[in-house]
Chain A
Amino acid sequence: MTAPIIKIDGISKSFGTFKVLDGLSMQVMPREKLALIGPSGSGKTTILRILMTLERIDSGHIQIDGEQLYHMERNGQLLTADERHLARMRQKIGMVFQLFNLFPHKSVIDNVTLAPILTKGMPRAAAEKRAMELLDMVGMADKAKSMPAQLSGGQKQRVAIARALALQPKIMLFDEVTSALDPELVEEVLNVLWRLCSETDMTMLLVTHEMGFAHDFADRVLFFDRGKIVEEGKPDEIFRHPKQERTQGFLKKIIAAGHRV
């Protein structure tokens, strides 16, 4: 019996008076590929942002790789995590954003090498060698010297993936990484995700509206609505034989909107 790499225990999160997450619990196993689906505003992004420490939780606990994310154990007591603890925990996690968030003033390769050089003290030559390998894997090696503004959306997103991979996180979070792309560019990014999925043993959490891809990619699919897991299961169970009415309704709408399932 292996231990879960992510263990979320009754977390709640409000924005003002609006409660996005209300006592959510879930677990993710090492190497698991998880797809999070659900209607807009159901809290999918919020969960990823909480795991990346971009939002704080109001209550509950999260364990990453056996350690508390937002708490530190000191003399048997649980204290709120300080910045140093968070920085150590962040080493385990990487995130790719919907809008890429590349550094516009840095070339493609500098985008990829910046964090390894600064946070891991990697020598520049080693960081660049590794960056070129990663850029090669995402098919962007020939654009290493380009500036982000010279790239298409799909190319930017592939660079952003390489940038996150450069820190070798155990867990990767992908938040609708193809939603901002023109339809003809979606494929090239999904191909990269597919390679990561089949060639690495990273744990991957994918928020997506690409139901066809989620079906092929995921070991397990979670359907969210209003901050709660309404239904979860193997892709076939969720996509072919959804039990819950809300899941059925959601999938019907998605298909009507022209997405392949």
Chain B
Amino acid sequence: MTLDLELIAMALPLLATGALVTIKLAAVGVGVGLPLGLGLALLRLAPNRLLAGLGDGYAGLFRGTPMLVQLFILYYGLAEVPVIRQTPALWWFFRDALFCAGLAVVLNTTAYTSEIFRTALRAIPQGQIEAALAVGMRPWTLLTRIRLPLAFRNALPVYASEAITVVKETSLASTITVLEITGQAKRLMSQTFGILEIFALASLFYLVINLACLGAFAVLERRQARGMRP
């Protein structure tokens, strides 16, 4: 097989446009999903049984159902609900495939992120918390100065995996007409016969994004590990 340069020249700009959409979706997933996931982790650790139960329920629901099905519900399913069609703000949102995809990504990664940080928060040795309480720290100070920094250090390697999972999951958005990398590749596939080339190129785009992402996390990790190794 020879490389079809003409095909590649045609595909590259389209896939690059798709990559921008992929990056946007993933950035929203990490940017919104990380704080929400942290919040959900804290909720799930709340002493209040009802609040913790609600948090657990949310995490269970989104971890226990496929994201593809969630996407279809958000984009195709909700469009059939009269209240949503009749409320301008809701309809403006749910009519848009990109918004629905972004929402699905956020809802999902929030659930997984909460699991990661719940574990990390619980792994903090009780003595380190007691040392903070014993000097008179308020709960908020304890959280921001001690618990969160320590949880981040514990969670970072696992969260890096979650972040690249988010990047890969955005490809599902192609099933609801969003033209991210996979969406563009599918469109190109129907116009040409270089299926292998096109998807190999698409893979390359994902790979570059994810390697950059992993690299960024590795730098963060190295910085945070400073001094923490024996």
Question: Is chain B found bound to chain A in the same assembly?
Answer: no
Residues of A in contact with B (beta carbons under 8 Å apart): none
B residues whose Cβ falls under 8 Å from a Cβ of A:
none
